[in-house]
Amino acid sequence: MKDYSSQLQQIISKAAPILKALNEDHFNLRSAPGKWSKKEILGHLIDSAYNNHQRFIRAEKQGNLIFSGYDPEDWVIKNNYQQRGPVELVDTWVTTNKHLAILLAQLSATAYEQQYTDHNFHQICMIHPAEEEPTSLAYLAEDYIFHLEHHLAQLIEGYVKLAEEV
């Protein structure tokens, strides 16, 4: 079984110093009109950590992998990420992901590997399994890391995903 906590901690250790070194102008950039700025992308990653943390906590006791989704656009606007400083955002991103990494380290192999057919990952995950396909918390952890690195590649020029480092 993969050590998702260690993977997440490696990503934080690799990305945080790079993000902290970027200037305010870099964080205000938008790839196109109507798209999120880099501050808003980082804010979205903070929101994702919050939402996924509670999913991992609830999963074992609820007996299924059906979780409420959230509206990322609404959360980014309501959290006012564009008006916040990049240092605050990077620090918050680091803290929320370290918090999640601690939780991931506490989950048992049984919790990660338990298969569920009662899930809504086809709706809430970035990589959508088939609705009827059995899935697990390991799948959710993989998807979270994939999603995180997808967006880090938008924030950090030349970012190499952990899975690609060899």
Contact 38, 134 (CB under 8 A): no
What confidence category does residue 14 fall into, taking pLDDT thresholds of 50, 70 and 90? very high
Average pLDDT on 91-114 reads 97
Contact 43, 76 (CB under 8 A): yes
- State the pLDDT at residue 162: 79
Per-residue confidence band for 22, with pLDDT thresholds at 50, 70 and 90:
very high
Q: Which pTM value belongs to this model?
A: 0.95
Share of the chain above pLDDT 90, in %: 93
pLDDT, position 31? 87
Lowest mean pLDDT segment, chosen from 69-73, 126-130, 162-166: 162-166
pLDDT of residue 103 exceeding 80, the answer is yes
Find out whether 162 and 11 touch, Cβ atoms under 8 Å: yes
83-110: average pLDDT: 97
Confidence (pLDDT) at 4: 97
Structural domains of the chain sorted by starting position, each given as residue range(s) with its CATH number in brackets: 4-164 (1.20.120.450)
The per-residue pLDDT for 152 is 98
Q: What is the pLDDT of residue 164?
A: 72
pLDDT at 154 over 60: yes
> Going by C-beta distance under 8 Å and a sequence separation of 6 or more, which residues neighbour residue 90?
16, 19, 20, 42
Single-letter code of the amino acid located at 24: E
